[in-house]
Each structure stands twice: as C-alpha cells, then as structure tokens.
Amino acid sequence: MKKWLITFFVAIILLFSGCTLLINSLLPNKYEVLESNWGIYLPKADEVIDLLTTEASFHGDGEWFTLFDYSKPIDFSNTGFTKLTSSDISDANNKIAQFEKRTIDIRQKSKEIVDIFKQYDIEAEVGDYYFYDGRNSGNDFIILLYKTNSHQLYKYEWHQ
C-alpha cells in the first residue's frame, strides 16, 4: 500500500510538471508578443529584466518597463528605429518622461515605482536608437530606447 501511495504522488507531481511545461511552451514569449503586437523584431538578449510589470488583467491594461541587456551591439540599420540626432533627443526624452509620470500617477505615487525610475533614470543621447509607436488615440504605445554605449535596450509599454 505504501509503495502504491508513493507511486501515485510521484505520478501526480510529474503530471503537474508536464502540464506546466506544456502551457509555458504554448504561451508567447516577450519577443513573439513584440512581433505580433507592434511588428518589432528584436534579437534575443543575454538577459531580460522586468523592472516594472502589471499583473495580468482581463483587458490587458497596464504598464511595463523592461531592460534587454546585450553583450554585443545590435544592428538597427534595417529597422524602424531612428538613430537619434541632437534635434530628436528632446522628443524621445519627453515621451519617456510622460510614460514615467503617467505610471507614477496611476500607481498612486508608490515609493517602489518612484524608486525604480530613479534607479533607471534613462535619457536618450545622440547616437542612441529610438522607436515609438502609438495606437488607440495614445492609449496604447511603446517606446524602445537602445543605449549604444551600454548595449541595453529599454522598453516602455503602456496599454489603457
């Protein structure tokens, strides 16, 4: 009887693990979501850090701030990214600041959120690469900023 009980529990654990792996393999990853939602194709990063995420909601509303860290430079020559010049920087930084302000406001000035934006106080500079796309009268938008010196790409995504 004891052997049967142990075998039963091991089978349940294996079944649960297998189902979890199957579900995870069927869900789209960050790159597939960027491709399907925004038409953006990014190479795989060495590390992806979710700095700020919104819990899943029925409507998909929320704010996401993600860092893609690369060990080598990315070639943006055939993409929708803009190589920033001194005349483009103000617009890029204003859009990032708008994302930060709206996120802090909607999260009721949470200290945790404010601290994240203080720690990752990212500003566009000449030579960085930038992408912006907005939809739904500005209620949905994405900002991507690739810092050429550090090989880091920051994604700011907003859906309301």
Condensed to tens digits (0 to 9), the pLDDT of residues 116-145 reads 999 999 999 999 999 999 988 878 999 999
- pTM of the predicted model as reported, rounded to 2 decimal places: 0.81
Domain ranges of the chain: 40-159
Q: Distance between alpha carbon 130 and the CA centroid of its chain, in Å?
A: 15
Distance between CA 96 and CA 62 in Å, rounded? 16
Cα–Cα distance measured from residue 55 to residue 61, given in angstroms and rounded to the nearest whole number: 9
For the segment 14-48, what is each residue's pLDDT rounded down to a tens digit? 676 655 555 544 455 778 878 888 889 999 999 99
